[in-house]
Amino acid sequence: MSIEENKKTVALFFSAMKVADVATLDKITTDDFAFMAGEGGGIKKPMFLDMIKNTIDAISNHTNRIDDIVAEGNKVAVRMTVTGTLSGEWMGFKPTGKSFEINEYFFLTLKDGKIQDYRGIKDALGQFQQMGIIPPLDEFKK
């Protein structure tokens, strides 16, 4: 696959994530797809698809805007802005009705035109603070 085709596949991946289109996500990821974020061994495809559906169900007004996309060979790097409102239970947290806007950074590896590996980091602290799950740092007592 060409670099431009890889970038288009990755853009489609994030468009499908935005609306929890698990059929498209399943189609454009390999059977051995893995999502790695932070520490741990990663999440395999079935759990990833469930996670996306649960996230979109709990976070209303969800958007993800690709700000930068760069590719070389079978690897694609993405910088994006993600927004939403915690309107449902998510990861054990109760809805707060508060919105967030954060930056996320991802590296994706493609194999035979499909996404095989998805690794990323995001401003989880900022997201949790903005959603009212944890207080801002200046509210912590010394």
Q: What is the pLDDT of residue 38?
A: 67
DSSP annotation of 55: H
16-39, pLDDT tens digit by residue?
999 999 999 999 999 999 998 766
Mean of pLDDT over the chain: 93
User: What is the average pLDDT across 83-88?
Assistant: 96
Q: What is the pLDDT of residue 117?
A: 96
Question: Please, are residues 8 and 2 in contact by the beta-carbon 8 Å criterion?
Answer: no
Q: What is the pLDDT of residue 35?
A: 94
Residues 6+ apart with CB under 8 A from 70: 76, 77
d(CA 140, CA 121): 24
Q: Which two tokens stand for residue 102?
A: 């954060």
Q: Is domain 3-134 given the CATH code 3.20.20.60 in the classification? A: no
pTM of the model: 0.90
Question: Please, are residues 124 and 104 in contact by the beta-carbon 8 Å criterion?
Answer: no
36 vs 83: which has the higher pLDDT: 83
43-76, pLDDT tens digit by residue?
899 999 999 999 999 999 999 999 999 999 999 9
Q: Which two tokens stand for residue 62?
A: 């969800």
